[in-house]
Amino acid sequence: MRTWKTDVLVPRGVVVIVHGLGEHHGRYRWLKDRLIDEGFHVISGDLPGHGRHLGPRGHVDRFDEYIETINQWIVSGQSLDIPVYLLGHSMGGLASIRTVQEKHPDIHGLILSSPCLGIVNQPPRWLLSLARILNKCYPKCRIPTKGSADNDKATRNPDILKRDAHDSLMLTKVSVRWYFELDKAMVQAVERNACFPNIPLLVMQAGSDKIVDKQAVQSWFDALTIESKHYKEWAGLYHEVYNEPERNDVFTYSLGFMNQYMNTH
């Protein structure tokens, strides 16, 4: 975990950024720099099994490892005694949902970027059958994955695609245990909607998402009964809305959400 501080004399808040599958916190440099320029501190790091995090790459024994990690980041943000916002992308969005459902952290708002509540292309049945066997006898067996690391489906931004092609920290495989933990977490996110705390929520969903099932995201959002929830679908944008050519518009919209709830906690 790292903390980057703004030079603004009176910081407006701190944003905890949670990356998605296959990536690492370094891919959010543009977003981090924009937030710092707007007067926010930023906290982020690499989730277990990702980036430079210690331990087997592409593997977790339990999805709760993500929850515990994110909660630690939030606690670190709370120690700064300024408004705390949580921002999670894709799998990081799912992990952020599960974190607030289980931990009920004292935060000013949650921003979800194309949260992984359903997958567009499910593995074939034969592969799932094999994976179930491996999950019992060889859970750390890794298989090729398609997700945020499958960048031609993640973004239309040629600069990002060029950069990621030479990024050795990007994952290309995950363990069979990881897949089943992800699947279980998606089910739990829906089943435990009643546990979602009454905090302001903004869902930023890519309109042309080729990775996450946007209908599953919409259904999850519609079922929430919290007071302040906002859903924004970005027509034509691919999965990584903060990397798309229109990302300045996406950032401005996010900033407006945080400004709206800055003094209402």
Catalytic annotation present for 168: no
DSSP for 201-214, please give it: EEEEEETT-SSB-H
What tokens appear for 250 in the block?
């996406």
Residue of 89, 108, 148, 209 with catalytic role: 209
What tokens appear for 198 in the block?
């009454």
Catalytic annotation present for 89: no
Contact by Cβ (8 Å): 106, 10: no
Tell me the C-alpha distance between 220 and 222, whole Å: 6
Helices 125-137 and 176-191: angle between axes, nearest 10 degrees: 110
Contact by Cβ (8 Å): 171, 50: yes
CB atoms closer than 10 angstroms to residue 162: 10
Residue of 24, 46, 90, 148 with catalytic role: 90
Catalytic annotation present for 90: yes
Annotated catalytic residues are 90, 209, 239
